[in-house]
Every structure is written in C-alpha cells, then in structure tokens.
Amino acid sequence: MNNLKLITLLLFCFLLSACNEEGKLSLSERSVIYCAEGSPETFNPQLVTSGTTIDATSNQLYDRLITYRGDDNILSPAIAKSWHVTRDGKKVTFYLRKDITFHQTDYFTPTRPLNADDVIFSFERILNFAHPYHLVSGGNYPFFQDVGLNDLIYDIEKINEHTVRFHLAQADNSFLANLATDFAIILSAEYAEQLTKLKKQSDIDTHPIGTGPFKLKEYRVGSLIRFYRHPQYWQEPAKIDQLVFDITPSNTGRLTKLLAKECDVVAYPIAHEKIVQHEDLSLEAVTALNVGYFGFNINKAPFDNKLVRQAISYAINKETLLETVYQGKAEMADTLIPKTSWAFDNNITKQEFNPELAKSLLNFAGYSDGFTMDLWAMPIQRPYNPNAITMAKLIQSDLKKINIKVNIISYEWSTFLQRLKQGEHQAFLLGWSADHPDPDNFFTPILSCSAAKTGSNTTFWCDREYDDTIKKALHTTNIKQRKKYYAQAMAILAEEVPVIPIAHSKRYQARGENVVGDILAPFGGINFYQVSKKSLYLEREERTNNRQSTKNNSNTGVN
C-alpha cells in the first residue's frame, strides 16, 4: 500500500520539479566531484603535515600572504599585494590587499574585510604559547615547529590596518618560502572572537572560515566534503558552483568510480594502462618533489644499532621495488633530495643491493640468527608511494633472505599517523612531499631533532652534528657554502641510515575529458580554483565549430 502512496507522491514531485528544470545548466555541469584518497584530520593546515589534509583544505579554503606562481615558481603576491625585506634580512614588511572578504556560512557572517589583525592572529596562534588559541586542538603546529619558525620570528608588529612587519632573529633563506607554503594560511580573527564568546574555540579548526575560492558547506566524516563557491572571492570567483570531495580510500573503488563516471577527477589512480585506453579519460602527472622511504624507530631494539640499519639498507632490492611498485615510473632515491635539486651532491655514496654484506653486518651486530620485526605500511596511496602494502610484501621477502621475519601492519590512515607519532612502531614505510623548492624542506621536517620532538620525525633519530649542519646551511646566504653543508648532512645520513630513501616519484591524477583547467599544483597540492566543466551541449557545438575553424581549446566556462 505504501508503495502506491510513494508512487503518487513521486509523480507529483516530478510534475512540480519538471517546470523549473528548463533553461538551466544541469547540476552536474556546474559541479565537480573529486574522489579523494582519505579524510582530512582537521580543516586547518597549520596543524598537520599530511598531504590528504592539505589537499582538502589549503588551496580550497584559504589563502596565504604570498604564493608560488608560474612554471618557475616565483614568489608572487596573494593576500599581501607587495612585501619588502630590509637589507640585513631581519625585517619583512607585508602590505595587505584591502578587498579580501572572509567566507559567509551558516555559522559565521563576517562584518569586516581582512586586515592586519587576521594575519597577526594566524601567526600569533602558532608562535605565542600564551595565546588563547594556541592550545586549542592540541597546540601542535608541526610544520612551523619543524622549520623552527617560532625561534626565528620574535615579533609581529602591526604598522597600520593593512601593514604587518615580521621581526626575525636572524636572516633566514627559507623564511619567505615557508610563508608561501600550504601551511601558512590566514584565519579570521573576528571568527575566533565570536567562537570565544560562544565558548566553542575548537570549532575554528573543524568549521573553517577562510578567504579561499571555496567555502565549506558540509562534512561527513569518512564520506564526503562539500564546498560551495565563495562568491565574493577577491579574484574572479571559481567557475564551478559546487566542489565535492568523495572520500574513497580503496584504490579499486576510485578507479571504479572513474570508469563508471561517478567521479570527475580521481586522486592517485591505479591501473594507468586501463585509463589510457579510455578515450574519454585522461591521465596526468606532475613531477613532485618528494621522497618515499623506509624508516626505523631508533628507540626500539634492534634498530638502535647502526649496523642493523645498515644491514637492512643493503638487503633491500630497490630495483625491484621501483619496477613493481612504481611500475618503473619513478627515479631511484640515493638520499633524501631528488637529483633535480641544486643541493644534490653527485659524490654521495649510493646504497647498493648486497645481501652478503647485509648478512655479515648482521653477524657483526650479533644477530646472526636474525630476528622478527614489525613493518608498518601506509594503507593509502601517496605520490611518493603508490602501494606501500605491496612494497612491504616485497621487502618481507627480501629480508627473509637475511633471516629477518617481517610482520606487516597497517591501520586506517589517520590512526596510522597518530600511532606513528606516539612511536608504537618498529619500522615504517612513509614519505615526504616537499612544500617548497628549498632543500631544507627535506632535511629539517623529516629528520631534525625538533621534528623528533613534535613527532613528525617518526624515526626519533636526533643527531647533534646533523642538526648543526642543516642549521648552518639555513643561515648561510652563499649557495656554494650551503651546498657544502648539505653534502655533509647527506654523508651523515648515508652513514647513520635513520631512513632508507627508496624513490622520488610523480604525482598522478586521472580525470574525465570534460573537466577543464589545471588542478595539480607544483608542490604536491591540488587546487580547484581554475577548474570548470565542458557542458555536453557546448561540447557538441564546439566540435562542429572545430571542424570549420582551427582548434580553439579555451575553457568553456559554465557561468
């Protein structure tokens, strides 16, 4: 009986809604669905280093003071329309734009445009331990703590409503580069005030307010993130009305959705040959500055022993890992930084595959009968490691040959990272995507002592000499001198082996042919600001036009 009622209701609705359908672009032509590989841990990139969170937040919801632009990655203006650095490099002044509005959402309505207070609030929160928002959400700002920004900046001064000056303790080469990263976003001080009044401080990181091209509409944990266009964006508003992140951790699931046209864009696709076969799909790649590595937890036996670490580094056959896991599409890593970086040292000692040497090293270390270890493998695909579980299986069989029995352990992604931070692991497969082109972005966040304290250096390796070397490199302006320091640091790494670098890879993405516009940003992130969709109708028209005239491949905007 109920069905009958339903059907009548249904028909009724159909009649009602059919009228207001006409003359509009369909919903799907004004929206883009992105199949993401995991849920963000938070909506504030200041709090994390994980790429999944950055992808979902930084470029979509927020803006930075300055940004990288163009193929040469030149620092260019964003929220700051210009900036000035004094000759001694210790004072940096930013002149802010006056026409930037924050998001208006169900939970917040801005009354004023962005000004110096917002910038100061965003940085004070990180730097000032006594700041009321510092401890909200745990008080960990891993990126900033890793690069030592809290030691570097000793004061932020408000010159006037739209001018801010940073006072630095010393000149620092990577300061501007660090401010242009995905982490250094600007929050709204006014929103923070409102939350303080409502006593809901932690909402600042879960119900974000930013200035970016999209605003958050809805988030269902583990299932979707819905963004709407920010209509008052300070640049041209985004071309699509709606951006949906469909959270699909399963690799096959994402590919299925792509093939079944349920996703427009897919992160980290598998089965590249299958995608290439389809005419209406395209595969793109961007050379990302990254490194995938095998790390040891220095605090857990037997990896406190340098010889054991060296032995394992000789026992792993990187060639087959590259062949199988990366399908030959990555470059073998000899040290943390890729060969394309200016700091790369050609004289670096390469770790070759030598199981005999590995065995004798193990004997020497007193583990002639081998041992059993746990290897933690990431559950999801990252640009630096498309399939950590398969990699772990291969390493398992490699290490079996030198009598080490490996148990593979994996958790859901955010649990995995959390437990790594707490140091529950013995050894792990992980990686790092650079946030800016400065080589320091590899050396400091992965292996420095300060990173070991915040837990982003999950090897917990802390070497004074290495730390001093990379610090010296950071404070030198002479490129040759810096290169020398980095060569020293790499030599220490080759000797101590806290991590075994495996590969530098590309970041892949697949999309339907009707999605137009760049998405992959040069430094690992993604950005949907420029994206639009070709409507089917327009596409048909374009095709007929193309027959007559030359191919004009401009974005067919859908506004």
Determine, following the binding rule CB under 8 A, whether residue 270 of this chain makes contact with other proteins.
yes
Smallest CA-to-CA distance from 150 within 138, 140, 165, 163 is with 140
Residue 294's Cβ-side half-sphere holds a number of Cα atoms within 13 Å equal to 27
Among 256, 282, 403, 530, binds other proteins (CB under 8 A): 256
Q: Is 497 left (phi over 0), alpha (psi -120 to 50) or beta?
A: left
**Six-digit token string for 528:** 């949907």
Of positions 64, 215, 230, 257, contacts other proteins by CB under 8 A: 257
Q: Which of 251, 364, 376 is nearest to 314 (CA)?
A: 364
Q: What are phi and psi of 494, to 5 degrees?
A: -65, -30
User: Which span sits near other proteins by CB under 8 A: 62-70, 91-99, 269-277, 307-315?
Assistant: 269-277
Least spacing, CB of residue 93 vs other proteins, in Å = 40
Q: How many C-beta neighbours within 10 Å does residue 332 have? A: 16
Residue 90 or 393 with smaller CB distance to other proteins: 393
Q: Which two tokens stand for residue 62?
A: 């927020």
User: Quick check: 251 binds other proteins (CB under 8 A)?
Assistant: yes
Write down the least CB distance from residue 302 to other proteins, Å.
23
Cis omega (within 30 of 0) for bond into 302 = yes
Parallel, antiparallel, or unpaired for β 91-96 and 153-160? unpaired
Is 85 in contact with 205 (CB distance < 8 Å)? no
Distance (Å, rounded) from C-alpha 377 to C-alpha 323?
Answer: 18
* 8 Å CB contact between 406 and 293: no
**By C-beta, is 50 or 448 nearer to other proteins?**
50
Radius of gyration of the chain (CA): 25
Q: Does 223 bind other proteins (CB under 8 A)?
A: yes
Site for other proteins in 322-351 (CB under 8 A): 323-324
Identify which range of 42-50, 184-192, 248-256, 448-456 contacts other proteins by CB under 8 A. 248-256
What is the token pair recorded at 275? 């995608």
Gap between the Cα atoms of 282 and 540, Å rounded: 19
Beta carbon nearer to other proteins, 222 or 366: 222
The CB density around residue 161, as the number of other CB atoms within 10 Å, is: 13
Is 129 among the residues that bind other proteins (CB under 8 A)? no
Residue 252 binds other proteins, judged by CB under 8 A = yes
Pick the closest to residue 341 from 471, 447, 482, 449 (CA basis).
482
Residue with tokens 């359908």: 21
Minimum CB distance to other proteins smaller for 29 or for 182: 29
Of 412, 424, 518, 542, the residue at the interface with other proteins (CB under 8 A) is: 412
Tokens encoding 418: 């959390």
Nearer to other proteins, 377 or 521 (CB): 377
Contacting range for other proteins; rule: CB under 8 A; set: 67-75, 154-162, 222-230, 534-542: 222-230
The 8-class DSSP code of residue 237 comes to P
Stretch that binds other proteins, among 59-67, 70-78, 146-154, 242-250 (CB under 8 A): 242-250
The binder of other proteins chosen from 128, 163, 232, 242 (CB under 8 A): 242
Stretch in the footprint of other proteins (CB under 8 A) among 43-51, 167-175, 251-259, 490-498? 251-259
With binding defined as CB under 8 A, does residue 53 bind other proteins?
no
Q: Does 76 engage in binding with other proteins (CB under 8 A)?
A: no
Q: What is the DSSP letter of 17?
A: H
Query: Does the protein bind other proteins through residue 396 (CB under 8 A)?
Result: yes
Tell me how many residues contact other proteins (CB under 8 A): 55
Q: Tell which positions 9-38 bind other proteins, by CB under 8 A.
A: 9-10, 13-14, 16-18, 20, 27-28, 31, 33
Among 140, 307, 411, 491, binds other proteins (CB under 8 A): 411
Q: Tell whether residue 286 is a contact of other proteins (CB under 8 A).
A: no
Q: Are 434 and 522 in contact (CB under 8 A)?
A: no
Place of tokens 């509409």: 217
Mark the segment that binds other proteins (CB under 8 A) among 45-53, 163-171, 250-258, 515-523. 250-258
Among 60, 211, 387, 456, binds other proteins (CB under 8 A): 387
- Provide DSSP, 374-405: EEEE-SS-BTTBS-HHHHHHHHHHHHHTTTEE
- Taking CB under 8 A as the rule, does residue 170 contact other proteins? no
Nearer to other proteins, 91 or 419 (CB): 419
| Cα torsion angle, 458, 462, 463, 469, sign | positive
**Which positions touch other proteins (CB under 8 A)?**
6, 9-10, 13-14, 16-18, 20, 27-28, 31, 33, 217-218, 220-224, 226, 242, 244, 246, 248, 250-253, 255-257, 259-262, 270-271, 273-274, 320, 323-324, 387, 389-390, 393-394, 396-397, 408, 411-412, 414-415
